[in-house]
Structure 1
């Protein structure tokens, strides 16, 4: 997981995104990747992919895996050691969602953040 977070942080720096947007994006990407590795029991030879797109003032990050089960946030009790990842995504992202992959194998979980760049002086 560390590598994907590092790559996102480097890309966000090259895009000159505000630190708070970068920090939130890195946190949420880590949550989605963790969920994919932990819950998406994928067949051998299948991979988990992350994609980051900056379009105008929106940062969209998606994680795709070969498992068809669409995730939903759950109510974790105070004693649970996990189960809060999608709740974090739902709380911190401007928009998020899940969708089956068009090819029929797997799903994509995505989120968007407002990513207005600082004004150039």
Structure 2
């Protein structure tokens, strides 16, 4: 994540948010998909936006939970919802891609 954002001269708050989002999406995929392989990609889809995508072969859709205060897990997608400007799921013939869009505050 750091290498991609540095290549585009995007640092600071965006890097922190992007690292948290990719960590949560990857963890969610590993924990819930049952897949041994996944793919992570980061794309600068416009001058003002970066998309992080985690793709796996599971058709199981992610479901945000409402964990109790004393639960030790179940907050990953809530964190993604908070950190990302948009997020969603794209169904694939072989599985799914979960993406999170992060807007660049000051691209110049």
TM over 0.5: yes
Shift of 1:116: 4.2
Determine if contact 1:67/1:106 at 8 Å carries over to the other structure: yes
Q: Secondary structure at the match of 1:26?
A: helix
Aligned to 1:113: 102
Aligned to 1:94: 85
Q: Which runs of 5+ in 2 are unaligned?
A: none
* 1:48-82: CA deviation from partner (whole Å, max 9, x where unpaired): 00110012211001000001001011001111111
Report the structure number with the largest CA radius of gyration. Answer: 1
Q: Which runs of 5+ in 1 are unaligned?
A: 1-7
Aligned to 1:5: none
* 1:27 aligns to 2:20 (yes or no): yes
TM-score, structure 2 as length reference: 0.92
Number of residue pairs the alignment of both structures matches? 107
> In angstroms, what is the RMSD of aligned CA positions?
1.3
The runs of at least 4 consecutive aligned structure 1 residues that moved more than 2 Å come to 116-119
